[in-house]
């Protein structure tokens, strides 16, 4: 049985398929139960492989056509034309115009963004924690898609489950880093539990950066990974439970073959 997944109405168009997968529908055990798709975790590699195969099947592609990077909280984007023939590239976003390649990102509190220009038939996927968002990975994904024929005014971007402001408490050093680059970013920080803490609306910041980059259609499923940690992997939830490892949620998009 194919694992369940969410979709965004913004990307739910003919000619493409996408999904924001939860932790349900896989074979992993223990802290990784059950649809852990992260090869970088300490899970049984065979279980991760099977979980990824199930996700690929749900999107209508073979297992080797589901592509994810070796994510490193960078602003780097890789343009893909074929499945990886060796180790994954070290980067945090992907773009392609090749039908049948499912571009995926792995997250467990960070933001998974999926992109589509339905007219140019160009897609993208980006993993963005606060480091990547501040460094410009989302803007760079839009730029990479443009090199393949997309236009930023036509690009649609949708955000999947991630850590949300009420659960995303940060120190003042992070506030200073964001305001040093973007003085307008002050509005994305609310008071925390004490004077040394703030609650960060990273999703709001990311949507603002995309809008500033010329993306006009931006969607969000609105779910918090920590708030719904029974349904989604959450690094912070695992830490609170004293777990020393965690699974990864997969979000992916693919162009249909014509």
Confidence of residue 175 (pLDDT cuts 50, 70, 90): very high
User: How confident is the model at residue 257, as a pLDDT?
Assistant: 87
Q: Around 128, how many Cα atoms within 13 Å sit in the side-chain half-sphere?
A: 32
Encode pLDDT of 85-95 as tens digits.
Answer: 888 999 999 99
**pLDDT for residue 143 is more than 90:** yes
Rounded to a whole number, what is the largest CA-CA distance in the chain? 56
**pLDDT for residue 258 is more than 80:** no
What is the β-pairing status of strands 249-255 and 197-200? unpaired
Residues with Cβ within 8 Å of residue 87, at least 6 apart in sequence: 70
Residue 175 has a CB neighbour count (10 Å cut-off) of 18
Which pTM was predicted?
Answer: 0.98
- Residues 249, 112 contacting (CB under 8 angstroms): yes
**pLDDT for residue 217 is more than 90:** yes
Encode pLDDT of 6-32 as tens digits.
Answer: 999 999 999 999 999 999 999 999 999
The CA angle 118-210-11, to the nearest 5 degrees, is 30
CA–CA gap between residue 29 and residue 35 (Å, rounded): 9
Encode pLDDT of 94-124 as tens digits.
Answer: 999 999 999 999 999 999 999 999 999 999 9
> Percentage of the chain surpassing pLDDT 70?
100
Question: Which CATH fold would you assign to the domain 5-162+220-255?
Answer: 3.60.140
What is residue 78's three-state secondary structure? strand
CA–CA gap between residue 245 and residue 247 (Å, rounded): 7
Strand order across the 169-171 sheet: 169-171, 197-200, 189-191
**Quick one: which of 245, 243, 250, 248 has its CA closest to 233?**
248
Encode pLDDT of 25-78 as tens digits.
Answer: 999 999 999 999 999 999 999 999 999 999 999 999 999 999 999 999 999 999
């Amino acid at each position: 049985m194919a694992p369940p997944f969410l979709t965004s109405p913004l990307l739910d168009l003919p000619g493409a398929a996408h999904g924001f997968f939860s932790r349900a529908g896989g074979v992993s055990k223990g802290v990784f139960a059950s649809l852990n798709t992260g090869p970088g975790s300490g899970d049984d590699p065979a279980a991760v492989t099977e979980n990824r195969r199930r996700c690929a099947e749900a999107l209508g592609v073979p297992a080797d056509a589901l592509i994810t990077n070796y994510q490193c909280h960078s602003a780097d984007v890789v343009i893909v034309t074929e499945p990886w023939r060796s180790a994954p590239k070290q980067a945090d976003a992907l773009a392609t115009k090749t039908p049948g390649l499912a571009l995926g990102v792995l997250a467990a509190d960070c933001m998974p963004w999926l992109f589509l220009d339905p007219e140019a038939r160009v897609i993208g996927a980006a993993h963005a924690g606060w480091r990547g968002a501040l460094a410009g990975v989302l803007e760079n994904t839009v730029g990479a898609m443009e090199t393949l024929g997309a236009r930023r005014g036509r690009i649609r971007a949708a955000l999947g489950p991630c850590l949300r402001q009420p659960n995303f408490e940060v120190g003042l050093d992070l506030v200073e880093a964001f305001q040093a680059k973007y003085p307008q970013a002050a509005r994305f920080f609310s008071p925390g539990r004490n004077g040394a803490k703030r609650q960060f609306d990273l999703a709001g910041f990311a949507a603002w950066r995309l809008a500033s980059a010329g993306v006009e259609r931006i969607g969000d499923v609105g779910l918090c990974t920590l708030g719904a940690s029974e349904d989604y992997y959450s690094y912070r939830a695992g830490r609170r439970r004293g777990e020393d490892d965690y699974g990864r949620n997969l979000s992916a998009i693919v162009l249909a073959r014509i």
